[in-house]
Every structure is written in structure tokens, then in C-alpha cells.
Amino acid sequence: MLEQYDLHNLMVIDIETVPQYSSHDQVPEHLQKLWERKSQNIRKDESAEDYYKSAGIWAEFGKIICISVGIFTSGKDAGLRVKSFAGHDEKDLLSRFSALLISQPSNLVLCAHNGKEFDFPYICRRLLINGLPFPPQLQIAGKKPWEVVHLDTMELWKFGDYKNYTSLNLLTAIFDIPTPKDDIDGSMVGDVYWNLKQLDRICTYCQKDVVATAQLLRRYRGEELIKDELITLIGQ
């Protein structure tokens, strides 16, 4: 499976997002009303104020604070090199990430877990909101489906079955991919960012997901996992 892809022309990515404001009462009044309307069908018994902690999953009400990328390295012992783009200034973060993509081949394949539903469209929407141009790998308008060079490890696992969501954690478990024990999960990112002010901790969590996705790709291809000593993590 996936033998047709050259891993050295593929970039694994993962993003971490948070609500744009630290709390609901900091949100401008006109956006509060729009947030209440946007979230009314999914917050069940929670008020719009209480549910605002989940606002980061919508590009209209959230922002990106970290993008981690992984590149497969070549040589005698093929490995993985992981770098993060993180910061409080989303426009600067996106500009640096875009510059990296622009420096790569236009046919570079982007891969993420649930990337087609979340990571890729979220990045595109935030680029547009910040007035930034799309790098070629994210320019999908007008392209036929087979011309879009995006891979999604969750979509690949479905094999055409659209009944449910399969988490990265579950797939790493069933494929026996060792993963470090995380001290946070996705639901805690907003609190860790706004209240604990621990962006580095979020970057570490994001990088772990990139490594896990890269290892899952190797399993999909029937290949051995990358050894820990061949995985290089680079900070911001």
C-alpha cells in the first residue's frame, strides 16, 4: 500500500489550534452573537460561554499556534526530521511555514491524520484571513481530485467506509507503534496555552503526532518503524 509514493517527496504535518481569545467575555460583542449561532446545534446543554473553550476547532473563531512538520531523510539509515513553527503571532507563523513550502517542489505531497477534514482546510482559511497567499501545495481550487497531492492517514484507513472517525491514538495502538505517554491531549491545548502559558509543551505534543503519523505511514507501506535514534526534533 502506498508504494507509489516517494517518502522523500512527502511532508507530514500537524497543527494545534486554540480559541482566538482567552475567554468568552473577551470576544467582541458582534462575534459573541455569531459564536452563539454557530455553536448552538452542537453544544447540547452547555451555554455558549462555557462551550467557547472548544472554539479553536473552527477557523472562524480559532487560530493556529503551532505547525509541526516532518521530512523523511535519506542516507545509510533513513530517518525523520521534525521541526515546529510556533508563536503567538499567527501571521508570522503562517508566513514562515509558507516560506518552507514555497522552497519545496510544487508536487510535494502533504500528509496528515484527518488532514483533509481539519489541518489542510484550517490552514487555508487562516492564510486567507491573514491576507497571505497560498503556497502551491495548498492551491487546490479548480483541480481535479486526483490532482490534489494530499494524503490523509485516517481517510486511507477507511478504505471507502465513511461510518466513523478513527483516532491516531487507536491506529498507533493496533499497529503496535510505541508512543510516549502524553501529559496533555487535544482537549487541553487551549487551557495549556491561555492559562498555563506553555507553548513549548504544546509544540512537543504536536511533534509527537507528526512522528506517530510518519510511523503509521511506514506501517501502511509494510515497512519497519523508524528507530528512535534516527528521529531528530528541532525546536521553533
pLDDT tens for residues 27-49? 999 999 999 999 988 888 899 99
Q: Does this model's pTM top 0.85?
A: yes
Q: Name which of 198, 177, 202 is nearest 187 in CA terms.
A: 202
Percent of the chain with pLDDT over 90: 79
The answer to whether position 170 is within a domain reads: yes
CATH number at 108 reads 3.30.420.10
The answer to whether position 94 is within a domain reads: yes
pLDDT tens for residues 65-105? 999 999 999 866 679 999 999 999 999 999 999 999 999 99
The answer to whether position 82 is within a domain reads: yes
d(CA 37, CA 25): 16
Q: Which helix or strand (DSSP H or E) is residue 75 part of?
A: none
- Cβ–Cβ under 8 Å, residues 149 and 120: no
Q: Looking at the DSSP assignment, which residues form a beta bridge with residue 234?
A: 83
Q: Averaged over 6-10, what is the pLDDT?
A: 93
Q: Which domain holds residue 74?
A: 7-20+61-234
d(CA 184, CA 169): 13
b/e per residue, 43-67, with b = 16+ CB within 10 A?
eeeeebeebbbbbbebbebbbbbbb
User: What mean pLDDT is reported for the chain?
Assistant: 92
- Cβ–Cβ under 8 Å, residues 35 and 41: no
The answer to whether position 228 is within a domain reads: yes
Q: Averaged over 149-175, what is the pLDDT?
A: 90
Q: Averaged over 141-148, what is the pLDDT?
A: 82
d(CA 28, CA 21): 9
Indicate the SS3 state at residue 204. Answer: helix
Q: Averaged over 143-156, what is the pLDDT?
A: 88
> Would you state the pLDDT for residue 142?
83
d(CA 192, CA 188): 6
Confidence of residue 181 (pLDDT cuts 50, 70, 90): low
Q: Averaged over 104-118, what is the pLDDT?
A: 95
Number of domains in the chain: 1
The answer to whether position 40 is within a domain reads: no
The answer to whether position 26 is within a domain reads: no
Residues in the chain: 236
- Cβ–Cβ under 8 Å, residues 76 and 102: no
d(CA 236, CA 234): 7
The answer to whether position 81 is within a domain reads: yes
The answer to whether position 1 is within a domain reads: no
